[in-house]
Structure formats: C-alpha cells, structure tokens
Structure 1
Amino acid sequence: MSGVLGVLPPLLLLALAEAAVRWGWIAPHLLPAPSDVVAALVQMGRDGQLGSHVIASTLRVAAGFGVGAVLAVLLGALVGLSSTAAAVLTPSFQALRAIPSLAWVPVLLLWLGIDEASKIALIAIGAFFPVYMGVAAGFRDVDRKLVEVARLRGLGAAALARRVLLPAALPALLTGLRNGLSLAWMFMVAAELIAASRGLGYLLTDGRETGRADLVFAAIVLLALLGKLTDGLMAAVEQRALHWRDSFGGAA
C-alpha cells in the first residue's frame, strides 16, 4: 500500500506537466512535456548512448563511494573510539567539511588533471563526510553501561568491539552510508563537469549547450531513478542488518 501511495505524487506531477505544456501554459523550451523526455530516452537507448552514460556515471559513483566510505569508516571508528584521536582530528575534519564541493574542483584539476582520478576523488570527498560523521557518532554514543557490563564479563578488546560496540553503532553507520551514497550521486554531477565526454553530468551540460531541454530533464530523471534504486538497495541492506530492532515505524 505504501508503495502505491508513494507513486501517486510523481504521477500527478507528470500529468500536470504534460497538460501544462500541451495546453500552452508553459513553453516547451522551459519545461518539455514528459512524453518528449521519454521519447528522448528511447532515442538515446536506440542509439546506444543511454547505456554508455548510465554505466559511466554508475562506475564513477561506485569507485568514489567505495574509496570515500572505506576511509570514512576507518577514520570514523578511530575518532569514535579514541578521545585523543577525536581531539586531534575533529577540528580539521569539521573545517574540511565546510568547504563547498565546487571549491575542490580547481584543486583536484591542479593535482590530478582531467582524467578519471580527479572525478573519483571528488565523489570520494562527497561520500566521506556523511559516513565519517555517522561512524564517529555511532561509536561515541554507545551506552557506557553496555561497555562496563561487557568488561565485567571479561570480554577483551576484540570481542568488545565485535559483540558490543559494532552492533550498537551499526544503525548510525548504515545511516551514514546511505547519506554518503546520496551525496556521491550529487558530487558525481559536479565531477562530470570536469571535461567528461560520457555520463549523466555530461548529458546535462550537452543539453544546456545545445538548447535541448528534453536532454536536460532526461538526465535529471535518470539521476533520480538511479539514486532511488541505489538508496533502495542500501535500505534493504539496512533492514536486513538491523532486523533485530523493534522500531516504532510511524503511526498509520
């Protein structure tokens, strides 16, 4: 039932947009009709361009998210488990987190050039901070009484981390991963403005430069669908990993 209800708002919005364009309320060069966007997607699929753009962007997001998430989990766990590490690293990471994404573009171009390395590095930066914050907060906020009880029962450091700290921090860790994945898709668009010849970010730029509003909105639709798909996969992983939780879930 919830899935059906979730589809209603976008379907209603699409119907209104189609009617507004067909009845002349909105100029097609400003907002193309959804049917024209679908036609553009079908044409790109026939030409073989659609798969090329989707695969290029997906691979970049996967690589950047993988690098950023691994570093974030390691450093976040270090900061969350060590007050000394937190005192040393937290001020620097908070300052770096405040830097806008586009500010990294000239730096990465200077250091890594216009090849794939600069694009993956920018995506990794975007994914890093949400995951880092989630992991650090998850370990730091573990109930002290749980740790004390575990130590009284004679658990060593490894067993304490595996049986107490990690399960307690897992909800925050998985939430951080989901947020990091969402930001990875956002940073991917900025990354593909760096002299890319394939990808959904490139498709956005190409549509703008050629005056093809249908291409611009086709890229936006693909970004929304891919973002929703990957978030749904992460949500399934989260639900499976946290099946032991007895959550409220919201009132009907």
Structure 2
Amino acid sequence: MSDATLDTIPATKAKPEDGTARPVSFRGGGFAPKPRRWVGLVVFLVLIAIAEWGTRAGWISALTLPKPSDVLQTFQELYASGLLFKHLGPSLSRLAVGAALGVSLGVSVGILIGLFSYIRAGMVPLVAALFPIPKIALLPLFVIWFGIGEGSKYALIAFGTFTPTVVATYGAVDNVDRTLIRMGQSFGLSWFSIVRKIVLPGAMPGILSGLRISLAIAIILLVAAEMLGAEYGIGAYILQAGSLYDLERLFAGVVILSVLGVLVSGAIAIIERRLLGWRT
C-alpha cells in the first residue's frame, strides 16, 4: 500500500496485545494548527539572553550589538522624558492615514479587477508596470508633488500599500471556488448576492493575507518617509541615532518598529478570527 493511500485512511484505534484500544493521531493534524503563543515568547527571551550574555562576555563586540539591558534603559529614558510619545504619535498617525488610503483603494480596485473583464484588461497591465518600481525611489517625486510636509509621507505609504493589496485582492477573488458560484446561480441568487455571500467571503482569507504584507511594507516606507524632512517620528529618531552612532537609541527605534509590526499582525489575526470563523 502506498504512502498516498495511507494518508487517506481515517484515524482508527490500534489494539495492542493487551486488548486495550489507544487512539492514533491523524497524520494530517498539522493542517489544523493549535495556538502555542508561549513558544514565540520563549524564542524571543532566549535570543535576548544570548545577546546579553554574548555582549557581557565580550565575544560580541559592543560596536556591533549593544547590550539588551542598555537598550531597555534607553526605553525607560525615552518614556520618562516624554520623547517616546512625541516620536510615536506622528508615526502612528502617518501610518494609519497612509495605509488606510492605500488599502481601501487597493481592495476596491482588486475586487473590481476580479469581477469585471474590461477593468481587468485595463488595470492589470498598469498594476504590473507599477508593482516592481521601488517605492522609496519615488519619495523625491512625491516631495515635489505634495511638498516636504505630511502630504508626501501619506502619498508614499498609500502608494506603497496600494499595488500589493490590488494584486493580493484580485488573486484572492480569482481563487474562489467556481463550483460554489455555479451552485449559487443554480439556486437563482442574483449577481449581487453571489458576490456578497460567496465571492467576498471566499476571497477574504487571501485579502487578509495580502494585508499582512502590505502593512509591513507600509512600516518600511514610513521609516523612509520620516528620514526626509521630519522632526518627529520613529524614522527621524533612528536617523538621528545613526548619525551620532548611538547604537542603544538606534536599536531602541528598531525594536519599536518590530513591536509595531507584531501589533499590526496581531490586529489582523483578530480580524481573521472574527471574519473567518466559518472555516473552523
């Protein structure tokens, strides 16, 4: 009997020599992952402990990696002085506005491309031409168009999140099971009902997966935008620390961005549990 055939056999109970039955775990159980949040925390703590021990022992140069305890002390100083929120507030505002514009427009255009042939024929070549362009390279152009203020930063983040969101969205719409659509048509559902009850729920997993990538790109572009003409912001803070070769402050800024990325990913995970509970 081949391995492929064995994979299709449902879980049964094996009977050892004593006659007692014991359950046999299903080999495909990996497709239903269970939450193990503490594992990720342990990995972070182990890496931090190795970095602390290595820098104190001397086999990691202080010019390469600061001690995590010194970075933590820098966080405490940032919080006590109020500079943490002075830099974090503008960054969150720029990220929220720019990402909201890019994601909402990208999802809308992606759905239209997935549903209408003429829009697909006109927009897919345009998106394919825009997608490979390094968005950071367009920052000087956005500064010329929108000025050195907030407008250029919003535009860069919005444009950077727009194209990957479009690609993920119309790809998710294309991957909806056509059998379900034909079933809805056979039951006499209207076009709008099929889109609302079949296409959008079926495409939502792919759309949310695309949002993870788009929002990560938004954070990267946020830093790039704030390094040009911004007095406050995480990017400006990192640029100032790098120019002074202050590794503790620089790594503190990097850690803030990392935590921001984790929080964004967690927020999307919450949305997935709310919107995609029908998959369980």
The TM-score range, normalised by the shorter chain, is over 0.9
Q: How many residues align?
A: 246
Deviations 1:144-199 (A, max 9, x none): 22222212222112212111111111111111222211211111111111211111
How far did 1:121 drift? 1.0
- 1:37 is aligned to 71
How far did 1:56 drift? 1.4
What SS does structure 1 have at the residue aligned with 2:61?
A: coil
How far did 1:29 drift? 3.0
Q: TM-score, normalised by structure 1?
A: 0.93
Give the AA of the match of 1:181. Answer: L
- 1:88 is aligned to 122
Give the AA of the match of 1:163. Answer: K
Inter-partner Cα distance in structure 2 for 1:81 and 1:242: 22
- 1:69 is aligned to 103
Inter-partner Cα distance in structure 2 for 1:211 and 1:145: 60
- 1:53 is aligned to 87
Deviations 1:215-245 (A, max 9, x none): 1100011111111012101111112210111
Q: Is the 8 A contact 2:131 2:164 kept in 1?
A: no
Map residues 114-193 of structure 1 onto 2, 5 A cutoff. 114-193=148-227
- 1:112 is aligned to 146
- 2:260 is aligned to 226
- 1:249 is aligned to none
What SS does structure 2 have at the residue aligned with 1:15?
A: helix
What SS does structure 1 have at the residue aligned with 2:229?
A: coil
TM superposition outliers: structure 1 runs of 4+ over 4 Å: none
Q: Is the 8 A contact 1:193 1:202 kept in 2?
A: yes
Deviations 1:2-44 (A, max 9, x none): 1111112221111121122222223323211001101111101
Provide the alpha-carbon RMSD of the alignment.
1.3
Inter-partner Cα distance in structure 2 for 1:163 and 1:82: 18
Is 1:242 paired with 2:276?
yes
Inter-partner Cα distance in structure 1 for 2:227 and 2:200: 38
Inter-partner Cα distance in structure 2 for 1:216 and 1:124: 26
What SS does structure 2 have at the residue aligned with 1:196?
A: coil
Is 1:102 paired with 2:136?
yes
Give the AA of the match of 1:30. Answer: T
Q: Is the 8 A contact 1:178 1:235 kept in 2?
A: no
What SS does structure 2 have at the residue aligned with 1:29?
A: coil
Inter-partner Cα distance in structure 2 for 1:132 and 1:109: 24
Structure 1: tracts of 5 or more residues without a match = 247-252
Percent of aligned positions with the same letter in both sequences? 37
Inter-partner Cα distance in structure 2 for 1:231 and 1:55: 19
Q: Is the 8 A contact 1:119 1:194 kept in 2?
A: no
Inter-partner Cα distance in structure 2 for 1:69 and 1:148: 30
Q: Is the 8 A contact 1:22 1:33 kept in 2?
A: yes
Inter-partner Cα distance in structure 2 for 1:12 and 1:146: 47
Q: Which has the larger radius of gyration?
A: 2
Give the AA of the match of 1:135. Answer: T
Inter-partner Cα distance in structure 1 for 2:187 and 2:120: 28
Inter-partner Cα distance in structure 1 for 2:195 and 2:79: 49
Q: Is the 8 A contact 2:130 2:163 kept in 1?
A: no
Inter-partner Cα distance in structure 2 for 1:237 and 1:34: 33
More helix by share: 1
What SS does structure 2 have at the residue aligned with 1:244?
A: helix
Inter-partner Cα distance in structure 1 for 2:213 and 2:231: 28
